[in-house]
Amino acid sequence: MIINLAKLNIMDYVLFMRSFYQYKDKPILFAHRGMNSYAPENTLPAFQLCLDNNIPAIELDVHLIKSGELVVIHDFSTKRLTNKDYKIENLTLSEIKELDVGIYKGEQFKNTRIPTLEEVFQSFSNNLLYDIEIKSNLVNNNILAKKLWALIRKYKLEFNVIITSFNPIAVRAFEKVSHHSLLQGIIFSKDKSVPFYLRKGYGQYLFQCNISKPEVNLLTNNMIQRYQEKGTKLLPWCIDDENKAIELVNKNVFGIVTNVPELIVKTNLFKQ
């Protein structure tokens, strides 16, 4: 199934959005790397907790590794989670599966492994919505983009996935192979780890951006108004304060990304 958003008329677009998010006139609550307060981040247990607690959507990160699979982990190195310093892209899947990314969270999560994106799709299918962040510092992302699009299509999740990244070239590569089929957006932050030319969202001009994903401390009323006037959906991150979440919902954001979905969901302001 190939759905070119750029060519949909308004009624088709409404139908697409209703199919995609079972539309209920409510913003969407995305759990940042799953329920990471209670389980190891970006793992099957963290995502399962979302399903068990009526959290409808997850944000996760994907890397293309040496043996060709897409794996779900945030950092470019394994050091923070495993105390073993390997670069993700240089590992094979068998090497990655030897790493324990659960023990740091407690003995009950010992031997939790880094999942492949395919394992996530196999486990949760269309029972969750996915904000898939492409993690890549490369200029040429064609292989990653093709593999990502193939997996989404294999599991018939075109209506359950949005694609985002700090790297606009990676999103542009995905846009090309998917024929503008999904909602896609740029992430930006003023953090010093982000190249200065990507800290204000200028990467959005390199592709057809339907979603803007700013760090919450960059949001201003003028920014919200400007993006809404041009039809760009706002998905700020990370909102871990209940009052801030309510404020943003009242400003008609598309959704929010949070580290504490178990708290924010209690506002009953979000799709469940």
Residues recognised as catalytic: 32, 74
Residues 206, 77: Cα–Cα separation, whole Å: 28
- Pair of tokens at residue 174: 């995905």
Task: Return d(Cα 260, Cα 238) in angstroms, integer.
Answer: 9
Report residue 196 as tokens: 């200065």
Cα–Cα dist 197/189, whole Å = 11
Q: Give the C-alpha distances (Å, rounded to integers) separating 188 from 69, 168, 194, 213.
A: 26, 10, 8, 6
Q: Are 141 and 170 in contact (CB under 8 A)?
A: yes
Sign of the alpha-carbon dihedral angle for 75, 119, 179, 186? negative
Query: What is the chain's Cα-based Rg?
Result: 18
Using CA atoms, how far apart are residues 177 and 72, in angstroms rounded to an integer? 21
